[in-house]
């Protein structure tokens, strides 16, 4: 009885979660008038006109490329810095390591809105205000704390005997990390990638502050251009959002099997 009730409850939650996606999908094939008159019904004709219009109205492919650059720089930096720092802090017990680790954890509690003006001034001073690579480096600084927290806990699940055996064979600390430790961090690395790609790919506020050149706009900024001051073409907006979500969904499907394992083993042992 409990199993049936749980299944029904999960189905209800699943329907609630999927319903907005269903609404966005079917309405992306409609005209503006159809949405206002019958938003819940299926479109009268399944036309890809709205999707084609997205490519014509905004530089969609250019925005995709800009977003890929920013996301790639951010993800690579977060994984490299987070894994190295998490490994070193976990394998170097002591007061100094605890203080540094606590500072990283404390930084997770600082809301972005409290530092965004200062961050913008620093970026301007470093001449990275309108740079895609510079924006990626800013994401590294903002996202590495969570990565360190997860890697720090996961490293503790790896037996130290593996490193000791490698040291006997003459391996240095960096070689041990690259050849032995990092391959074992695959589950938590997948978790870090998923959590951050969702954030970097869909972020709007930081690119809005940092990117002033239209040619450097990311997907979210490009889609924002579809919103008019007095009128919004909702079918095109929804079509753009559907197109934007496809790469993230594919990325999630590839790595999702590692998420629960990575979070449970990484967070609970920190």
* Least confident stretch, 110-124, 199-213, 217-231: 217-231
Say yes or no: 18 and 91 in one domain. Answer: no
**Domain check: are 111 and 152 in the same one?**
yes
Domain match, 99 and 18 both: no
Tell whether 173 and 258 lie within a shared domain.
yes
> In which element (H, E) is residue 146 found?
helix 132-155
Domain assignment present for residue 52? The answer is no
Instruction: Note whether 166 and 228 are same-domain residues.
Output: yes
List the structure tokens of 260.
Answer: 């629960």
Whether pLDDT at 163 is above 70:
yes
194 belongs to a structural domain: yes
* 195 and 232 assigned to the same domain: yes
Is the residue at 53 inside a domain?
Answer: no
Structure tokens at 14: 């699943």
- Domain for residue 254, yes or no? yes
| Residue range 207-231, pLDDT digits in tens | 999 998 888 999 999 888 888 766 7
The pTM (predicted TM-score) of the whole model is: 0.85
Shared-domain flag, residues 3 and 76 = no
Which class for 119: exposed (0-12), middle (13-18), buried (19 or more C-beta within 10 A)?
Answer: middle
Domain interval for residue 148: 58-267
Q: Which of the residue ranges 183-192, 194-203, 252-261 would you say has the lowest mean pLDDT? A: 252-261
Q: Tell me, yes or no, whether 18 and 73 share the same domain.
A: no
With beta carbons less than 8 A apart as the criterion, state whether 169 and 100 touch: no
pLDDT-derived band at 164 (thresholds 50, 70, 90) equals: confident
Q: Are residues 30 and 147 in the same domain?
A: no
Beta strands in 33-163 (DSSP E): none
Please tell me the total count of domains within the chain. Answer: 2
Residue 84 lies in a domain: yes
* Same domain for 96 and 4: no
Q: Which segment of 61-70, 96-105, 144-153, 247-256 scores lowest on mean pLDDT?
A: 247-256
CA-to-CA dists, residue 53 to 24, 88, 143, angstroms: 16, 51, 35
Which domain CATH number covers 91?
1.10.3720.10
Q: What distances in angstroms separate CA 37 from CA 25, 31, 41, 107, one per listed residue?
A: 17, 10, 9, 48
Q: What is the tens place of the pLDDT at every residue in 60-84?
A: 889 999 999 999 999 999 999 999 9
Same domain, 74 and 134: yes
Mean pLDDT of 87-113: 90
- In the predicted model, is pLDDT for residue 93 greater than 90? no
C-alpha 70/C-alpha 62 separation (Å) is 13
**Residue 226 shares a structural domain with residue 168:** yes
């Amino acid at each position: 009885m409990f199993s049936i009730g749980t299944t029904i409850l999960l189905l209800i939650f699943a329907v609630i979660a999927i319903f907005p996606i269903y609404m966005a999908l079917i309405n992306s094939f409609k005209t503006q008038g159809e949405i206002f008159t019958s938003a819940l019904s299926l479109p009268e004709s399944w036309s890809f006109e709205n999707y084609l219009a997205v490519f014509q109205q905004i530089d969609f492919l250019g925005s995709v490329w800009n977003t890929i650059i920013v996301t790639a720089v951010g993800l690579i930096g977060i994984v490299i810095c987070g894994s190295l720092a998490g490994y070193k802090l976990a394998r170097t017990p002591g007061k100094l390591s605890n203080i540094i680790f606590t500072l990283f954890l404390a930084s997770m509690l600082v809301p972005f809105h409290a530092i965004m003006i200062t961050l913008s001034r620093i970026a301007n001073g470093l001449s990275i205000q309108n740079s895609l690579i510079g924006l990626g480096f800013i994401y590294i600084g903002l996202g590495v704390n969570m990565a360190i927290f997860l890697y720090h806990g996961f490293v503790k699940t790896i037996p130290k005997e593996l490193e000791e055996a490698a040291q006997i064979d003459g391996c240095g600390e960096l070689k041990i990390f690259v050849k032995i430790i990092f391959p074992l961090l695959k589950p938590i690395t997948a978790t870090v990638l998923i959590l951050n790609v969702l954030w970097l790919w869909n972020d709007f506020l930081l690119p809005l502050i940092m990117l002033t050149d239209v040619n450097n706009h990311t997907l979210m900024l490009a889609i924002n251009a579809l919103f008019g001051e007095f009128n919004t073409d909702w079918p095109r907006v929804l079509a753009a959002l559907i197109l934007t979500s496809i790469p993230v969904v594919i990325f999630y499907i590839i790595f999702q099997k590692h998420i629960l394992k990575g979070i449970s083993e990484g967070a609970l042992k920190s």
